[in-house]
Chain A
Amino acid sequence: MTKNKQTLLLVDDNKTFLESLARRAELKGFNVLTAESGEEALKLAAAQHIDIAAVDQQMPGMEGLVVITKLKGINSEIKTLLLTGHGDDKLKEATRALDSAYFDKEDISGFWDFLANLSLGKVNILLVDDNPKFLETLADRIRLRGNEPLTALNATEAMAIMESNRIQLAIVDQRMPDMEGLELITRLKKIDPSVKTMLLTGHGDEKLKEATQALNTSYFEKDDMGSFWGFFRQILNSLETSMAAAGMAEGGDHKDAIKLEDPNKE
Chain B
Amino acid sequence: MNNISIGRTKGFLLSILILILTHPVSAFAADQAMLGGGDKPWWFWPLILFVFCFILGILAVMAGVGGGVLYVPLVSGFFPFHIDFVRGVGLMVALAGALAAGPGLLRRNLANLRLALPVALIASTFSILGAMLGLYLSALNPDIIQTCLGATIIGIAALLIFSKNSEKPVVTKQDAIGMALGLGGVYWDEGARENVEWKTHRTLLGLFMFILIGLIAGMFGLGAGWANVPVLNLLMGAPLKVSVATSKFLLSITDTSAAWIYMNRGCVIPLIGVPSIVGLMLGSLVGVKVLAIAKPKMIRYFVIVVLLFAGLKAMDKGLGLGLLG
Contacts and interface: CB of A to CB of B under 8 A. Distances in A.
A27 B64 contact: no
Given A242-B285, A249-B287, A261-B291, A256 B97 contact: no
Contacts of A243: 97, 100-101, 104, 281, 284-285
B64 A246 contact: no
Interface residues of B, number: 39
B240 A253 contact: yes
A50 to B, nearest CB: 22
Nearest to B165: A252
Interface in B267-325: 281, 284-285, 287-289, 291-292, 295
Given A244-B103, A244-B104, A249-B61, A254 B295 contact: yes
Interface string B175-219: 000000000000000100000000000000000000000000000
A43 B163 CA distance: 52
B248 interface: yes
A251 B292 contact: no
Contacts of B10: none
Contact of A246 (B61, B190, B241): B61
Contacts of A153: none
Q: Which of A27, A240, A249, A261 has the most CB of B within 10 A?
A: A249
Contact of B292 (A244, A252, A265): A265
Contacts, number: 114
Given A251-B66, A251-B244, A253-B241, A260 B104 contact: yes
B23 interface: no
Chain B interface secondary structure, helix, strand, loop or mixed?
helix
Contacts of A239: 100, 285
A248 interface: yes
B237 interface: no
B284 A246 contact: yes
B105 interface: yes
Contact of B225 (A241, A251, A265): A251
A135 interface: no
Given A257-B288, A257-B291, A261-B289, A248 B107 contact: no
B241 A245 contact: no
Interface string B227-242: 0110000000000110
B292 A27 contact: no
A246 B229 contact: no
B47 interface: no
A244 B295 contact: no
A183 interface: no
Interface in B47-98: 60-62, 64-67, 97-98
A258 interface: yes
Contact of A261 (B97, B243, B292): B292
B259 interface: no
B245 interface: yes
Given A243-B100, A258-B292, A261-B291, A249 B105 contact: no
A247 B107 contact: no
A40 interface: no
B229 to A, nearest CB: 5
B291 A256 contact: no
Contacts of B146: none
B66 A250 contact: yes
Contacts of A245: 104, 288, 291
A2 B108 CA distance: 17
Contacts of A253: 64, 240-241, 244-245
Nearest to B283: A246
A249 B103 contact: no
Nearest to B248: A247
Interface in A226-248: 239-248
A246 B196 CA distance: 24
A259 interface: yes
Given A240-B107, A254-B64, 14 more contacts: A27-B107, A242-B285, A243-B97, A244-B101, A244-B110, A246-B285, A247-B248, A248-B110, A250-B64, A251-B248, A256-B244, A260-B108, A261-B289, A261-B292
19 contacts: A240-B107, A243-B281, A246-B101, A247-B97, A247-B102, A247-B104, A247-B244, A247-B245, A248-B101, A248-B244, A249-B291, A250-B60, A250-B64, A250-B97, A251-B229, A252-B244, A254-B291, A256-B244, A257-B61
Interface of B: 60-62, 64-67, 97-98, 100-105, 107-108, 110, 165, 190, 225, 228-229, 240-241, 243-245, 247-248, 281, 284-285, 287-289, 291-292, 295
Closest 6 A-B residue pairs measured CB to CB?
A244-B104, A247-B101, A251-B244, A247-B248, A246-B284, A252-B64
